[in-house]
Amino acid sequence: MIPQLKVGGLQPLTTLDYPERLAAVVFCQGCPLRCRYCHNPELLPRNADPGIPWDEVLAFLDSRRDLLDAVVFSGGEPTQQLALPGAIAEVRALGYEIGLHTSGVYPRRLEKLLPLLDWVGLDLKALPEHYPALTGMPESGTLAWRSARLLESSGVSFQLRTTYHPSLMPDAQRLGLEQRLDDFRNAQHVWQTCRTGHCLDEGLMAQPGV
- Asked whether the beta carbons of 161 and 125 are under 8 A apart, the reply is no
Q: Residue 183 is inside which H or E element, if any?
A: none
Query: Which helix (H) or strand (E) segment is 148 a member of?
Result: helix 140-152
pLDDT of residue 40: 85
Dump strand ranges (E) for the chain.
Answer: 7-14, 23-28, 70-74, 97-102, 119-123, 157-164, 188-193
On the question of pLDDT at 1 being above 60, the answer is no
Kind and range of the H or E run holding 57? helix 54-63
Q: What number is the average pLDDT over the span 119-142?
A: 96
Sign of CA dihedral 26, 30, 33, 37: positive
Q: Which pLDDT band, with edges at 50, 70 and 90, does 208 fall under?
A: low
- Kindly state the DSSP code that residue 50 receives in the 8-state scheme: P
CA end-to-end span of the chain, whole Å? Answer: 47
Q: Which helix (H) or strand (E) holds 151?
A: helix 140-152
* Residue 150 pLDDT greater than 80, yes or no: yes
Q: How far apart are CA 73 and CA 157, in angstroms?
A: 15
